[in-house]
Structure 1
Amino acid sequence: MNTADAAVPPELIALDAVRKSYNLGRHSESEVLHGIDLQVRRGEFIALMGPSGSGKSTLLNILGLLERMTSGSFRLDGEEVQGLDDAALTLRRRSTLGFVFQFHHLLPAFSALENVTLPALMAEGRVSRAHLDHARSLLDAVGLAQAMNKRPAELSGGMQQRVAIARALVMNPPLVLADEPTGNLDTASSAEVFALLRSIHAERGTSFVVVTHDPRLAARCDRLVELIDGRIARDESIAEGVEPAPHG
């Protein structure tokens, strides 16, 4: 290993004893996450599962720097982020993280290409020729080369989610967080979108943390992290062909 390689942290994210509480008023609070220890290593494809109310969305929001934890340590690419102000967190989020949500959140008046370039516009105030070329190559990679100028209403649900995936990748983030990315799709489209995520992971080495309720999709990930009542109940590698038990 050379000096440059040694300087790169093996973990993109390292959480240590992370807790999250919400103030309920009158000196009362509810703790949703109870001392989470979690590492996300480079090149991993992780399924995050758990029953409703287990804290999955809260944990994903903390991983995405969308919510602040109440206590604990959060190192992102080797840097402690707990003490950073909102502006610094925004910069770290833009440079390190991509997001794919259950609802694609495409702007209806924008073409597919324009939607994909939005993160570049927000980050730099303009869309350069390089950004446009990269966005076109991403749309080509997700099978939408012929639909770049179409608006969301002209695309199927699966195609809209493919645009959202391209948008998540346009700034070349090392980690993509996906919250039920196939939750609103039919079975065939769901399988296609998930296969696309896996192919991007294999070809680009992008790390993924995917929230899913579908044990069939989780079985195609490399690692399963299961939350129950705000605690990690299981964190293990998934052997090929072994399907996690469905949750009740």
Structure 2
Amino acid sequence: MNVPSPAPALVALDGVRKSYNLGRPSEAEVLHGIDLRIGRGEFIALVGPSGSGKSTLLNILGLLEAMTSGSYRLDGEAVQGLGDAALTLRRRRTLGFVFQFHHLLPAFSALENVTLPALMAEGRIRAAQRERARDLLAAVGLARAMDKRPGELSGGMQQRVAIARALVMDPPLVLADEPTGNLDTASSAEVFALLRRIHAERGTAFVVVTHDPRLAARCDRLVELVDGRIARDEAVVQAGAQSMPDAPPP
């Protein structure tokens, strides 16, 4: 009987190290041989104390920073050694980003901000992409705010625009760096519930960097970095997951 081989991991890191030359005789190593697999549709919390290497690891996953040594396969393809143009293409095709600060362009409407990745990728916005942006804004509860500029929106609403922007190119993986860290408790719960709903409905994989143990407890898997090494990688037991209530769907 032939047993089908498992699908390749969306992300496969093997022995990834990262060092910085700080002007000292020897380099400072921040990541010490990271081995990590991320499958399609996973929802992962990346946690650890300040200085543990979380941001560095997220930047490497996002092709924003080169590793010093090791192997990184993204969606089955090796990325080490690729030039800037090839890395940019891989990033646009495979990855979405949500940051602590939404980084919306203040002179652009919500709809225009969401369509920016399509404009940057192709130099124009096709009708289908504009329609997808409209659908995404409606999905995140902003159907009536598409023409508003960021300054006319609350912090939680601005982060919803940023989430729609991260999804407009339909990436299989979204990297979220403290996506609720700049929000009040109610808005934080609302935005996190939205990420979970998108994950459930679209099957998008998420890696969420967070210092909030309540949010980490509502992810499916927890990866903890300590001093540049993976100290823990385990499934999350969902007991108490409702301590931060879900926001109602829009």
Give TM class, smaller chain.
Answer: over 0.9
Match of 2:192 in 1: 194
Matched, 1:221 2:219: yes
For the residues of structure 1 that align with 2:86 and 2:20, how far apart are their CA atoms?
Answer: 23
State the distance in 1 between where 2:88 and 2:26 align: 30
Determine the structure 1 residue equivalent to 2:247: none
- One-letter identity of the residue aligned with 2:179: P
Which position in structure 2 is the counterpart of 1:152?
150
1:34 and 2:28 matched: no
- Find the residue that maps to 1:145 and give its secondary structure: coil
Choose from 101, 111, 114 the match for 1:113. 111
1:16 to 10, 14, 17: 14
Q: Is residue 178 from structure 1 mapped to residue 179 from structure 2 by the alignment?
A: no
Cα pair distance change 1:225/1:96, threshold 3 Å = same
Displacement of 1:24: 1.5
User: Offset at 1:230?
Assistant: 0.3
> Partners in 2 of 1:144 and 1:203 — Cα distance?
18
The answer to whether residue 229 in structure 2 is matched with residue 231 in structure 1 is yes
Identity %: 83
* Alpha-carbon shift at residue 26 of structure 1 (Å): 4.8
1:223 and 1:237 in contact (8 A); partners too: yes
Aligned CA distance change for structure 1 residues 9 and 77 (closer, same or farther; 3 Å): farther
Which structure 1 residue ranges, 5 or more long, are not aligned? Answer: 244-248
Gaps of 5+ in 2: 242-250
C-alpha distance in structure 2 between counterparts of 1:144 and 1:242, whole Å: 30
Query: Which position in structure 1 is the counterpart of 2:120?
Result: 122
Matching of residues 2-151 of structure 1 within 5 Å = 9-151=7-149
**2:164 paired residue among 159, 166, 169:** 166
**TM-score by structure 1 length?**
0.94
Contact 1:46–1:224 (CA under 8 A) maintained in structure 2: yes
- Please list every run of at least 4 consecutive aligned residues from structure 1 whose deviation after the TM superposition is greater than 3 angstroms: none
Distance 1:50 1:129 in 2: 43
Displacement of 1:27: 3.6
Whether the aligned pair in 2 keeps the contact of 1:10 and 1:42 (CA below 8 Å) is no
Does residue 1:240 correspond to 2:202, yes or no?
Answer: no
| Superposed CA RMSD | 1.4
Measure the CA separation in 1 of the matches of 2:14 and 2:71. 5
Provide the aligned length of Structure 1 versus Structure 2. 239
Task: Write the letter of the residue equivalent to 1:116.
Answer: V
- Letter in structure 2 aligned against 1:137: D
- Distance in 2 separating the partners of 1:86 and 1:236: 34
State whether residues 45 and 209 of structure 1, in contact with CA within 8 Å, keep that contact through their aligned partners in structure 2: yes
Could you tell me whether the CA contact under 8 Å between 1:103 and 1:184 is conserved in 2? yes
**Alignment match, 1:204:** 202
